[in-house]
Amino acid sequence: MNVNETKAFIAWANIIFKFIYNKHHRSLSLKVGNKAFLRLHKEYNLSLVKSLKLAIQRVDPFKILEKKSNLIYRIELPKDWRIYLVIFIANLEFALASIDPYNRLALDHPKLVKKFNENWHSYEIETLVNH
């Protein structure tokens, strides 16, 4: 294989990679005031969820407060979530601002449980059953 053939193969590979990337890529540009879902599982998780398999994939739409660049946004998160407010675009998903077609009420984000509540019931184990 000579130099010209190698350059041709590299150019052909670049064309194929560009086609594959463009086929699945969609450009996402958010504006201040838009709402976006926060994707979990990639870099973020909520402390109460122990199993990633059973955890939710994305969290309710949050308002975009500031556009730092085309890739970085500051969003409005609950303060007790312990997640930094500046988020990379790969972890956001655009949320439509339309009315819910099922007329569901938008619920407020629940507070995180920080310590055990003494009013909860406690149980003692009598015997263990082998399966």
Q: What is the tens place of the pLDDT at every residue in 58-79?
A: 777 888 999 998 889 999 988 7
H or E segment and range at residue 17: helix 3-24
Name the residue among 118, 128, 58, 54 with its Cα closest to residue 94: 58
The predicted pLDDT at position 120 comes to: 66
Amino acid identity, position 129:
V
- Residues 99-125 have pLDDT tens digits of 666 777 766 666 665 666 666 666 788
Q: Does domain 23-95 have CATH number 2.30.30.140?
A: yes
The predicted pLDDT at position 67 comes to: 92
The predicted pLDDT at position 129 comes to: 83
The predicted pLDDT at position 54 comes to: 62
Q: Which of 2-11, 27-36, 43-52 has the lowest mean pLDDT?
A: 43-52
Q: Where are the domains of the chain?
A: 23-95
Classify residue 42 by its DSSP letter.
Answer: S
Write down the residue that tokens 């059973």 correspond to: 54
